[in-house]
Structure 1
Amino acid sequence: MTVATLERAATVGLTVQLLNPTIGAEVAGVDLAQPLTTDVREALKALLLRHKVLFFRDQEITRDQQVAFALNFGELYAHPTGGTDTHRVIQPIAAENFKKYDARESHWHTDTSWRIDPSFGAVLRAVDIPDVGGDTIWADGGAIYRGLPEDLKARIDDLYVIHDYQDALRRSGVRYPLVAHPIVRTHPETGEDIFWVNYSLKPRIVGLDGAESEALLARLYDEVKRPEHHARFRWRRNSVAFWDNRAGLHYAVRDYGDYPRVMERVLIAGDDIPHRIRPSA
């Protein structure tokens, strides 16, 4: 953590405990049920840019308060697959939604990567969680990229990847074109180069045949899996996570059997359209 970021947090009464040297921090000293002052909002934004995902404990907040907190950081995005019965912008993330997936598949992903302008971030609230299990892991996209061998960095620097969400969109009655993003995106606020592949949406690399694309993505996945790049969060009742969707990937661990785990997520809309394409060196 930079000294300036730590000093700003301390000035407004926030305390910060790191989960990993480059990603993940638990923040105390703020009540998310209350409106944020400008100084607290700016301190939290600085911490988010530095640590990529922030965690808050003992936050007994309502849906309205979750939405109000997210609105401090931008307009909200209503996911096309639907919201809760009371809030269109709150998306239930329920265990039953994952029953169709093979547990052996990779679900390292980033939200709404199928869009031209993917979401800036998300606020996730634990609603019904098991006593043990159901953790979420975040991976630092900048650290993943830095950890690649130089020849592999050079191999992917000018490549684009398509994330295919077409089946789910069609089921929701939505028409949207296939979009290609750089495998390595430049973060629009920090300038950091970020590895950015959504492994849950049938990724394929533009310009490569199927076998070559799969082989290259598999080689890259070896770096994604390295625990040195990860922050693992154990959920408790009234826990909240707030992450920068532009900064990496995350993974919901499904190790809780038939427990009806439920989370509720609010997406903050993206505003980085001019920065989608990495500038050439």
Structure 2
Amino acid sequence: MKIEKLTTHIGAELSGVSLAEAVGNDDLFGAIKDALLQHKVLFARDQQISKAEHVAFAQRFGDLEDHPVAGSDPDYPGLVCIYKDLDSPPDHYENAWHCDATWREKPPLGAVLRCLECPPVGGDTVWANMGRAYEDLPDHIKETIDGLYARHSIESTFGARMPIEKRHALKQQFPDAEHPVVRQHPETGEKVLFVNSFTTHFTNFHTAQNVRYGQDYSPGGSSLLNYLIARAAIPEYQARWRWKPNSVAIWDNRCTQHYAVMDYWPAVRKMERAGIIGDKPY
């Protein structure tokens, strides 16, 4: 297996490797996992793998989770089908910087995404290194956000397009989660900026230290949150991947965000994603 970096700060492409072989090869899987921790997102082309092999490879990282809105393959629970075909209306919920399912108490560890069909051009996905996004923050911002927590909501994102009764039922099933604004990666110890498009507000910002007048809280606190969320859009932290059929991306959801570029309608784009259950951020 060869590993070639895509950018300075994030992403590497694997070659000379079969992910299906890694299902039963501990040494190979260990090398892939080490590379993932180092580069945060890995890419591999020409992976002729079945759905069963896709699921089996992802399960080497941990148990898989279903998605309450996107839906899964009926024969392979945890394999989420992201099919954009000509019969589907243009749906723009993907094209925002996000870290998967931070509205869960335990957001995913990561995911394995495989391309079945894609446009001849367009439909790329971009990933951002949120460890570097934190590292480069000014010291006074780091001091301000140290110890801050924020809310993450499925109701205000996936639920926004639903009738009010379904939206409230979704919120009841998945109450807003509260996570530290800066989390620590459980395996590398790296500090990571952990706010994204699912994040609605800080929960412990309104203190005497931060808020002397009302404007310090709003728009002050919300402006700070928007500034932090926007860090993912800095090109120096990003890697962009052009899909081809049978290409695979593996990413660490604990320290990255990603953005599915919606520039290809009405072309077809069919992807399948296996998300791995994670732990509670701290």
TM-score computed with the length of structure 2 as normaliser: 0.84
Aligned counterpart for 2:30 among listed residues 21, 27, 42: 42
Matches within 5 A, 1:1-281: 14-34=1-21, 35-81=23-69, 82-95=71-84, 99-101=90-92, 107-166=96-155, 168=158, 170=166, 175-199=173-197, 201-208=198-205, 209=217, 211-270=219-278, 272-273=279-280, 276-277=281-282
Unaligned runs of 5+ in 2: 160-165, 206-216
Q: Which runs of 5+ in 1 are unaligned?
A: 1-13
Aligned residue pairs total: 258
Offset, 1:156 = 1.2
**CA deviation digits over 1:54-113, x for unaligned, max 9?**
10110011111100111111111122222123322111123378835489xx71101110
**In 2, Cα distance between the equivalents of 1:87 and 1:145?**
37
Supply the distance in 2 between the matched residues of 1:102 and 1:243 (Cα, whole angstroms).
Answer: 20
User: Runs of 4 or more off by more than 6 Å in structure 1?
Assistant: none
User: 1:268 deviation in Å?
Assistant: 0.8
Q: What is the match of residue 6 of structure 1? A: none
Identity %: 41
Cα deviation digits, residues 220-257 of structure 1 (max 9, x gap):
24432111100111111110001111012111111112
Contact 2:181/2:194, CA 8 A, preserved across alignment: yes
- Cα distance between partner residues in 2 of 1:244 and 1:223: 18
Residues 40-65 of structure 1 show CA distances to partners (whole Å, capped at 9, x for unaligned) of: 11111110100001101100111111
Question: RMSD of aligned C-alpha atoms?
Answer: 2.2
Q: How far has the Cα of 1:210 moved from its partner?
A: 5.2
Could you give the per-residue CA deviations for residues 114-156 of structure 1, whole angstroms, max 9, x where no partner exists?
1111111100000110010111111001110011111111111
The structure with higher relative contact order (CA 8 Å, sep 6+) is 2
* Structure 1 residue identity aligned to 2:20: A
